Structure 1
Amino acid sequence: MARSIAITSVVVVFAILLIVSPHVADALTCGQVTSSISQCLSYAKTGTGMPPSACCSGVKSLNSLAKTSADRQTACKCLKTIAGSVSGLKPAAIAGIPTKCGVSVPFPISTSTDCTK
């Protein structure tokens, strides 16, 4: 009987820990990055005016998704891959998108950015 109570207590404690512990979010993927910034590509080619509102929404979404260092490194690497695969992008236009969208990032937006830091 005592053993049954002990086992039940362990199961209850384990269940409580599962319920109250923070859930680990899935890691950011390149698909999420691409989806978030897809509406920015036309602006990144022209650099004129303001980025479309859908672009800014995507940039804000990506910024909120990339909370951990690992997520920010993934986003950086994916953005560099995208920038290298799309011709006609203007580096100055790309670098200005976060500011024009009201998003503060603590590093320069550039293809020369070291994603490991």
Structure 2
Amino acid sequence: MKYSSRVLVSASTMAALIILILLVPESEGAISCSDVIKDLRPCVNYLKSGSGNPPSACCAGASSLASATSTTADKKTACSCIKSAAQKMTIQTQLAQALPGNCGITLSVQISPNVDCSKIS
């Protein structure tokens, strides 16, 4: 009788652990396209027809994106989101390439409609 109650307790404990695992998000730091778009939205007008230095809200968003893309998975997700968005509008390539430097940050993802996101590590 003691043996069957131990098995029952172990099975109950295992079931509880499985439920907890299923309830926890896959990755707490995982970035979504909505996060990427939200961060770079203040840059759209600048990238389409701007000149000079980017607006401070743009640099703040780009900085936030740089902080949020620390893993390879996050970088690839951000890259795909940016590439898709950039394909839907005409941006000035020079401004897009210079954006991180003009904001004083390092962005591990290119802002380009032609980037190969599979090569990001």
Contact 2:86/2:112 (<8 A) preserved: no
> What is the alpha-carbon distance in structure 2 between the residues aligned to residue 54 and residue 48 of structure 1?
15
- Please tell me the root mean square deviation across aligned C-alpha atoms, in Å: 2.9
Candidates 74, 78, 83, aligned match of 1:80: 83
Residue 86 of structure 1 deviates from its aligned partner by 1.8
Match of 1:12 in 2: none
Task: Report matched runs for 1:1-117 at 5 Å.
Answer: 25-26=27-28, 27-44=30-47, 45-49=49-53, 51-87=54-90, 89-106=91-108, 108-117=110-119
Query: Structure 2 length as normaliser, TM-score?
Result: 0.70
Contact 2:97/2:111 (<8 A) preserved: yes
Contact 1:40/1:52 (<8 A) preserved: yes
Are the structure 2 counterparts of residues 91 and 113 from structure 1 closer, same or farther at C-alpha, using a change threshold of 3 Å?
same
Contact 2:93/2:112 (<8 A) preserved: yes
> What is the alpha-carbon distance in structure 2 between the residues aligned to residue 31 and residue 47 of structure 1?
26
Identity level (%): 35
Residue 114 of structure 1 deviates from its aligned partner by 1.2
> What is the alpha-carbon distance in structure 2 between the residues aligned to residue 83 and residue 46 of structure 1?
15
> What is the alpha-carbon distance in structure 1 between the residues aligned to residue 108 and residue 40 of structure 2?
18
Match of 1:14 in 2: none
Residue 47 of structure 1 deviates from its aligned partner by 3.2
Residue 108 of structure 1 deviates from its aligned partner by 5.0
Instruction: Kindly tell me the number of residue pairs found equivalent between the two proteins.
Output: 113
Local SS of the residue matching 1:35: helix
Q: Unaligned 5+ residue runs, structure 2?
A: 6-19
